[in-house]
């Protein structure tokens, strides 16, 4: 086995490199070294193999390794040498330059592939967004259609004929839903119709059947039977009895003419159902409506529970509010509900507000302390007009109920309750001071109840209006219309009637 020095090995390897670029066989003949040994030296030196035989593949089909080898071989050559090299290898100089340009920009193809991938992903996202927007619009349109036709669809039953007016309404609603983004099939399914039925209605909206006389119901009383009912009711022995007693009396005689409701219907048609007797006729209690144009005209009061630390034990807050100004004019906390405590609180409130000689209305609900005999006597003594909520109507005393909600939802409200009666009274006293003098009430154009009660809101609201007008003159483009309404509310209604609300 021959041993070659590193110097000779390097010289032989140099012949395989540019500019010589000798093949393995040529170097083997010149140096007398086996070709297998030369192949090993070339592999150890990391020299790229020569480009593939041009007779086997076209240059466009060469691998990246072969193209890189060509670039390495032609890098130190002159233009004439490159031309000679290209003729020997079956290449064009332009191809080598193109390969060189591609090598100098290795990321161009990757960038193109990335851009193509991003475009495809963007298209997919746009299609997904469009699909979701369409589904969302359809859901909103169907929800609106369901709300509009909820009562109408509930009354309709499968197989029942729909009148012309109902057909027009249904077709209009379906068209609005389709315009809003819903599919016609889904809109028809929502209202319980088939698309074919809707198409038929659009072509022929009217019912083309000829009107026919409808036969009378089989259970309808004849004219003779109605006269018989009236004759029975006019009999002297039954003249004072209502139908609810006439029908059982006839049944005891083994006679049946008609039911009680039929008796009442015949009598009503004949005009014979007028109330009679000393018993008062049932009637609904009218709404307690009062209007206040100034303080000390209409008061409202109630009692609320204040939780204590002991389970099942409560303190009771008696509170009187002026409806016009929302000011708390009287309050007290006790251990029990009592008409005596309410009467004493009312007396102190009247004296503190100096409203003894003014006509005053006191509104309350129907609780036991509110209707106690002691309180009624005190109201008569102070010449105060009592007013009460309608039976089983919980919102006729809304002003005080709203005040109680404010009281129990302020941040300082003790969630666990009060330890003693003195603690409850001290907390209520601090709340009343804050509410009357610091709390800007939303129902009073955000002035405090105390300012409204003393008449100071006139100047405050006028000042706010001037501030807004000056700001609008300085920056008119910030207002598309008039400035905020700071006008004073000159009247306040307790339980206004519908006509008052509409006005």
Q: Regarding the domain delimited by 290-457, which CATH topology (the fold level of the hierarchy) does it fall under?
A: Nucleotidyltransferase; domain 5 (3.30.420)
For 170, the token pair is: 């249904």
pLDDT, residue 327, reads 96
CA distance 40 to 66: 19
Which of 18-22, 271-275, 316-320, 359-363 is modeled with the greatest confidence? 316-320
Over the range 428-459, which residues count as b (16 or more CB within 10 Å of their CB) and which as e? beebbeebbeebebeebbebbbbbbbeeebee
CA atoms within 13 Å, Cβ hemisphere of 49: 11
- In the chain, the percentage of residues whose pLDDT exceeds 70 is 88
Structure confidence by residue, pLDDT tens digits, 442-456: 999 999 999 999 999
Does residue 460 carry a pLDDT above 80?
yes
CA distance 384 to 350: 10
- Reference 22, options 41, 3, 44, 1; nearest CA is 41
pLDDT, residue 1, reads 61
Confidence label for 463 from pLDDT (cuts 50, 70 and 90) = very high
CA distances 80 to 16, 199, 418, Å, are 21, 84, 107
- Reference 355, options 325, 332, 334; nearest CA is 325
- Residue 332 β-bridge partners: 318
- Reference 272, options 307, 219, 233; nearest CA is 233
Question: What is the number of helices (H) and of strands (E) in the chain?
Answer: 21, 7
- Reference 332, options 432, 265, 403; nearest CA is 432
List CB contacts of 405: < 8 A, sequence separation 6 or more. none
Identify whether 19 is preceded by a cis peptide bond (ω within 30 of 0): yes
Backbone angles phi, psi at 74, to 5 degrees: -90, -5
More confident residue, 173 or 445: 445
Q: Give the count of beta carbons closer than 10 Å to the beta carbon of residue 209.
A: 7
Helix (H) / strand (E) element for 89: namely helix 79-89
- Range in 85-89, 108-112, 291-295 the model is least confident about: 108-112
Q: Give the count of beta carbons closer than 10 Å to the beta carbon of residue 388.
A: 17
pLDDT, residue 284, reads 63
Does residue 308 carry a pLDDT above 50?
yes
Does residue 342 carry a pLDDT above 90?
yes
Does residue 130 carry a pLDDT above 50?
yes
Does residue 286 carry a pLDDT above 70?
no
pLDDT, residue 62, reads 80
- Reference 400, options 495, 489, 468, 278; nearest CA is 495
User: Tell me, what DSSP letter sits at residue 397?
Assistant: T
pLDDT, residue 198, reads 81
More confident residue, 89 or 373: 373
Per-residue H/E/C for 306-367: EEECCCCCEEEEEEEEECCCCCEEEEEEECCCCHHHHHHHHHHHHHHHCCCCCCEEEEECCC
User: Tell me, what DSSP letter sits at residue 488?
Assistant: -
pLDDT, residue 503, reads 35
Q: Give the count of beta carbons closer than 10 Å to the beta carbon of residue 203.
A: 7
Question: What is the mean predicted confidence (pLDDT) over 228-253?
Answer: 90
Does residue 391 carry a pLDDT above 80?
no
Average pLDDT in the chain: 84
Q: What is the pTM of this model?
A: 0.47
Burial of 260 (0-12, 13-18, 19+ CB in 10 A): middle
Does residue 498 carry a pLDDT above 70?
no
Structure confidence by residue, pLDDT tens digits, 46-66: 654 544 444 446 777 787 888
- In the chain, the percentage of residues whose pLDDT exceeds 90 is 31
Question: What is the mean predicted confidence (pLDDT) over 368-380?
Answer: 88
Confidence label for 150 from pLDDT (cuts 50, 70 and 90) = low
Domain locations along the chain? 6-104, 114-203, 223-269, 290-457
């Amino acid at each position: 086995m021959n041993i070659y020095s590193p110097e000779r090995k390097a010289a032989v390897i140099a012949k395989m490199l540019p500019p010589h670029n000798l093949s393995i066989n040529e170097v083997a003949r010149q140096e007398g070294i086996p070709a297998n040994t030369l192949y090993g030296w070339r592999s150890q030196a990391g020299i790229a193999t020569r480009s593939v035989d041009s007779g086997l593949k076209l240059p466009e089909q060469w691998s990246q390794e072969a193209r890189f080898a060509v670039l390495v071989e032609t890098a130190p050559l002159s233009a004439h040498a490159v031309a000679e090299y290209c003729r020997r290898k079956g290449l064009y100089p332009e191809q080598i330059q193109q390969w060189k340009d591609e090598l100098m920009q290795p990321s161009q193809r990757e960038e193109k592939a990335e851009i193509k991938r991003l475009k495809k992903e963007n298209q997919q996202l746009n299609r997904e967004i469009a699909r979701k927007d369409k589904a969302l619009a359809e859901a909103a349109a169907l929800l609106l259609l369901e709300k509009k036709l909820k009562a109408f669809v509930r009354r309709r039953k499968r197989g029942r004929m729909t009148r012309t007016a109902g057909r027009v309404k249904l077709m209009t609603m379906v068209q609005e839903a389709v315009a809003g983004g819903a599919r016609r099939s889904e809109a028809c399914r929502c209202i319980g119709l088939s698309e074919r039925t809707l198409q038929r209605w659009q072509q022929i909206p009217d019912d083309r059947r000829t009107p026919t006389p409808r036969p009378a119901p089989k259970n309808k009383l004849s004219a003779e039977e109605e006269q018989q009912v009236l004759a029975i009711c006019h009999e002297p022995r039954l003249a004072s009895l209502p139908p609810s007693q006439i029908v059982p009396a006839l049944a005891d005689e083994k006679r049946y003419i008609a039911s009680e409701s039929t008796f009442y219907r015949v009598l009503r048609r004949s005009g014979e159902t007028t109330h009679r007797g000393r018993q008062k006729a049932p009637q609904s209690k009218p709404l307690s409506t009062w209007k206040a144009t100034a303080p000390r005209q209409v008061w409202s009061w109630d009692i609320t529970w204040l939780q204590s630390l002991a389970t099942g034990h409560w303190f009771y807050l008696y509170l009187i509010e002026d409806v016009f100004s929302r000011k708390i004019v009287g309050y007290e906390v006790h251990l029990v509900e009592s008409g005596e405590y309410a009467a004493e609180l009312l007396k102190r409130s009247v004296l503190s507000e100096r409203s003894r000689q003014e006509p005053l209305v006191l509104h309350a609900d129907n609780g036991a302390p509110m209707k106690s005999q002691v309180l009624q006597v005190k109201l008569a003594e102070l010449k105060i007009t009592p007013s009460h909520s309608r039976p089983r109507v919980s919102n006729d005393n809304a002003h005080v109920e709203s005040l109680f909600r404010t009281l129990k939802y302020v941040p300082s409200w003790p969630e666990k309750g009060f330890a003693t009666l003195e603690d409850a009274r001290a907390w209520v006293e601090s709340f009343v001071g804050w509410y009357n003098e610091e709390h800007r009430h939303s129902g009073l154009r955000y002035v405090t109840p105390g300012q409204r009660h003393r008449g100071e809101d006139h100047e405050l609201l006028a000042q706010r209006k001037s501030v807004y007008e000056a700001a609008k003159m300085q920056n008119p483009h910030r207002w598309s219309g008039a400035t905020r309404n700071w006008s004073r509310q000159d009247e306040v209604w307790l339980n206004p009637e519908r006509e008052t609300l509409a006005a």
